[in-house]
């Protein structure tokens, strides 16, 4: 069994206390103020004369009716949470400096508000509670803006572009506590997001109490992870991963969200992603094969059967769901339902013939239409992933387009409501930079810019059909997101980009301006205790060298293009240090310190890089590419241990365990040393399984091979041991001789070693001294 793997250290952090401390921009005279650091950017902002408003000690917020006073109280909470002072709420708006007023004439748009800043204070008016709340969000941001406590005179008329501005959270793969959910809802509200799509059931867990079917949580809410995480470190006994929300807890979350004007949409996956439910109630399955709650990721074959008893089960579950969730929509999944079990089932095939379904897609459509009709009878609307288009779509169904925007374009063209959430731009479990410090996830990157520049309305959609695009949604699937720290890293600051796309007019969106406003938002995140991603704000390094000449070429970059300053003499880097403008030529050895700056303040703690003759001969997995070939599915995988705490991560192509060192300097190299570890292979690939490419093994446990340009006779071929060492690693060393001074090296492990997988930690070329 795989042992706990030692953590690796790449970047030295100086401490979070440096981050954005005390950013202050130059105050502007009234009438010449630029757009303040508001996210999302309001629809209309106009600077005006009359002097700035300065928040003095003893200032209060207030309103003249219950709705206005309620908004004033929410503003006080928002301001304090954003890092501002704690104000009192006045009984009379005339005694307040931040004043709220419910006024039906203030705006004619849903969720809109009007805000005016003058020397005497801030006035917010709206036609309903929602608009007052969003005005409170803006006021809190203004008072924690570029010059905290001082706001330039201006008027804001604001309303959202889209009525669906959502975030989906997967609580099935990894479970979040009630406090973590509440914290996330607070952050959503401060981004003016209004829809929380809660993914509560999947193959790996059923997280919602259904009183009529208690085994759904008694059985379906627990699994035993593979490897070290699934064993008690003290006793060696199985260690279960469990968690579900009681109906009382769900109602508490729904109420908490409603106070922040967020609707909660539950998701019950049908007919696929059903392993946990079938394990709890085997009669729901399509085969007689007994199931356990799965401890793997990927696409599974297990489907609900299509029997009448199973449909009644689903309707009974939906009755309790409807009772807990007052929102109009119920999400029924519909995605990734591999039909192999239905194809092989005489029972399902007979049912298809009985209803006249020509194929399994039409069978799924029949099931979806049955549930849609049931929900409609209970004053609810069905929403599902874009696979529900296949086989025919119920007339009132709403489509969530995830496999790109094509499904959404088709559905909207046919007159169906659509939420755009494509995997190409809106999946927050994809890494956001190429930094080696990114946490586990899918290394196909969705950078902040890519998330920001997504346009939810397809250019090819007819003008009279654009009304059917309800909005957009970010999706946070959690296969690789074991902790809340990683969850917040993945969501922030990309959720700010999603929020601005959902709220601000299309012609007002400007990524350069967004980057100017973002540093102040980071300060608010810090005040809220949000562990946002550091990787977009730190500096990355790439080096190549001439060992014979004792020099190296060093490239520095910040993923967002903020100004980079550096030092080469071991001193601390600051805003007066040299600014990086072009690759550096340095002598060996060299120590580079670098940081990204905005307004002369560091955006993240400085990174330190040591470049030596030895470092030029060493590469870890994060600095290697994929080998050429057809089979490519790169993941950044977390080790299976320790059971608690931080774990090592590895970049692995699970279709073909092979890593590429481009243009390796082989001059004088006489040997190679490789450090490899082994982790559980916990993936089901369904119809993608044939894409796996195992190089054939010649010995009992496979080999480590190193090839020049991934072809020909291996330069190195060493048999692998049956098990790694006590620390979970093995170090292998061999002579390496080649006549080429430089070559692309492919490092691979041969053989099908499942249910475990060898993974590369690092490779080092050794020279004759």
Q: What residues pair up with 476 in beta bridges, in sequence order?
A: 169
For 392-526, where are the E strands, in sequence order?
A: 398-401, 418-420, 469-476
Q: Which of 336, 362, 376, 406 is catalytic?
A: 336
- HSE-up (13 A, CA, CB side) for residue 286: 25
Rounded Cα distance, 656 and 354, in Å? 44
For 296-404, where are the E strands, in sequence order?
A: 297-298, 329-333, 381-385, 398-401
Q: Which helix (H) or strand (E) holds 607?
A: strand 607-611
Q: Which residue has the tokens 């954005």?
A: 20
Write b or e for each residue in 474-510: b if 16 or more Cβ atoms lie within 10 A of its Cβ, otherwise e. bbbbbbbbbbbebbbbbbbbbbbbbbbbbbbeeebbe
Rounded Cα distance, 573 and 765, in Å? 32
248 flagged as catalytic:
no
Rounded Cα distance, 520 and 527, in Å? 11
C-beta neighbour count of 212 within 10 angstroms = 10
- Are 473 and 164 contacting, i.e. CB atoms less than 8 angstroms apart? yes
Under the phi-then-psi rule, with left for phi > 0, alpha for psi from -120 to 50, and beta for the rest, what region is 31?
Answer: left
Q: Which residue has the tokens 């059971």?
A: 643
Residue 720: helix, strand or coil by DSSP? coil
Supply the DSSP symbol for 663: E
Q: Which helix (H) or strand (E) holds 170?
A: strand 164-170
CA angle 706, 637, 269 (to 5 degrees): 135
Structure tokens at 372: 């849609």
C-beta neighbour count of 657 within 10 angstroms = 25
Supply the DSSP symbol for 371: H
Question: In whole angstroms, how far apart are CA 557 and each of 351, 543, 587?
Answer: 60, 12, 20
Q: Which helix (H) or strand (E) holds 409?
A: helix 406-413
Q: Which residue has the tokens 């085997």?
A: 282
Structure tokens at 203: 């193959």
Provide the annotated active-site residues: 336
């Amino acid at each position: 069994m795989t042992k706990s793997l030692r953590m690796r250290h790449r970047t030295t952090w100086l401490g979070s206390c440096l981050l954005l401390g005390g950013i202050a921009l130059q105050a502007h005279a009234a009438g010449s103020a630029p757009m303040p650091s508001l996210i999302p950017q309001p629809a209309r902002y106009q600077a005006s004369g009359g002097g700035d408003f300065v928040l003095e000690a003893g200032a209060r917020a207030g309103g003249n009716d219950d709705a206005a006073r309620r908004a004033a109280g929410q503003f006080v909470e928002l301001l304090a949470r954003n890092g501002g002072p704690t104000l009192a709420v006045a009984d009379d708006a005339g005694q307040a400096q931040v004043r709220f007023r419910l006024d039906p004439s203030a705006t004619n748009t849903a969720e809109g508000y009007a805000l005016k800043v003058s020397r005497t204070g801030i006035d917010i008016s709206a036609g309903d509670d929602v608009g007052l709340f969003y005005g409170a969000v803006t006021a809190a941001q203004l008072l924690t803006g570029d010059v905290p406590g001082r706001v330039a005179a201006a008027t804001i008329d604001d309303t959202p572009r889209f009525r669906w501005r959502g975030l989906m959270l997967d609580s099935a793969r990894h479970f979040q506590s009630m406090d973590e959910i509440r914290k996330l809802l607070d952050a959503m509200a401060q981004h003016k997001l209004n829809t929380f799509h809660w993914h509560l059931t999947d193959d790996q867990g059923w997280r919602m109490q259904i009183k009529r079917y208690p085994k759904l949580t008694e059985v379906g809410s627990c699994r035993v992870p593979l490897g070290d995480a699934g064993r008690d470190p003290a006793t060696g006994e199985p260690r279960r991963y469990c968690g579900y929300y009681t109906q009382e807890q769900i109602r508490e979350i729904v109420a908490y969200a409603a106070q922040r004007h967020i609707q909660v949409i539950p998701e019950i996956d049908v007919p696929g992603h059903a392993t946990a439910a079938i394990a709890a109630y085997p009669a729901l399955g399509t085969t007689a094969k007994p199931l356990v709650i799965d401890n793997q990721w990927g696409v599974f074959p297990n489907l609900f059967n299509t029997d009448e008893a199973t449909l009644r089960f689903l309707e009974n579950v939906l009755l309790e769901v409807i009772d807990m969730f007052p929102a109009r929509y119920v999400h029924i999944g519909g995605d990734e339902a591999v039909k192999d079990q239905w194809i092989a089932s005489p029972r399902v095939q007979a049912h298809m013939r009985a209803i006249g379904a020509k194929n399994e897609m039409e069978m799924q459509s029949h099931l979806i239409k049955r549930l849609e009709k049931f929900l409609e009878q209970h004053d609810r609307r069905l929403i599902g992933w874009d696979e529900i288009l296949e086989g025919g779509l119920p007339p009132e169904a709403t489509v969530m387009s995830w496999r790109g925007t094509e499904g959404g374009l088709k559905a909207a063209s046919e007159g169906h409501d659509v939420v755009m959430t494509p995997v190409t731009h809106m999946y927050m479990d994809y890494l956001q930079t190429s930094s080696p410090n990114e946490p586990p996830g899918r290394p196909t990157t969705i950078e902040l810019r890519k998330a920001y520049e997504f346009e939810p309305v397809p250019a090819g959609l007819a003008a009279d059909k654009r009304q059917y695009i309800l909005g957009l949604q970010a999706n946070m699937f959690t296969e690789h997101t074991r902790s809340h720290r990683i969850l917040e890293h993945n969501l922030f600051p990309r959720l700010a980009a999603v929020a601005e796309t959902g709220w601000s007019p299309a012609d007002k969106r400007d990524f350069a301006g967004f980057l100017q406003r973002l540093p102040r938002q980071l300060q608010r995140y810090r005040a809220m205790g949000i562990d946002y991603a550091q990787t977009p704000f730190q500096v990355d390094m790439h080096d190549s060298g001439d060992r014979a000449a004792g020099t190296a070429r060093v490239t520095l970059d910040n993923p967002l293009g903020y100004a980079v300053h550096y030092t080469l003499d071991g001193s601390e880097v600051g805003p007066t240090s040299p600014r990086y403008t072009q690759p550096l030529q340095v002598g060996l050895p060299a120590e580079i310190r670098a940081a990204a700056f905005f307004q002369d303040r560091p955006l993240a703690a400085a990174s330190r890089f040591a470049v030596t003759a030895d470092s030029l001969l060493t590469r870890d997995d994060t600095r290697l590419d994929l080998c050429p070939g057809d089979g490519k599915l790169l993941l950044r995988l977390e080790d299976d241990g320790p059971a608690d705490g931080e774990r090592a991560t590895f970049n692995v192509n699970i279709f073909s365990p092979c890593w590429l060192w481009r243009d390796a300097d082989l001059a004088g190299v006489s040997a190679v040393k490789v450090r490899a570890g082994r982790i559980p292979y916990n993936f089901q690939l369904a119809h993608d399984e044939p894409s796996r490419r195992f190089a054939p093994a010649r010995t009992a446990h496979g080999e480590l091979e190193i090839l020049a340009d991934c072809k020909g006779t291996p330069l190195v071929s060493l048999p692998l041991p049956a098990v790694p060492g006590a620390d979970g690693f093995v170090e292998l060393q061999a002579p390496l001789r080649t006549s080429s001074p430089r070559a692309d090296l492919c490092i691979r492990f041969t053989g099908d070693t499942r249910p475990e997988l060898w993974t590369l930690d690092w490779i080092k070329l050794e020279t004759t001294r």
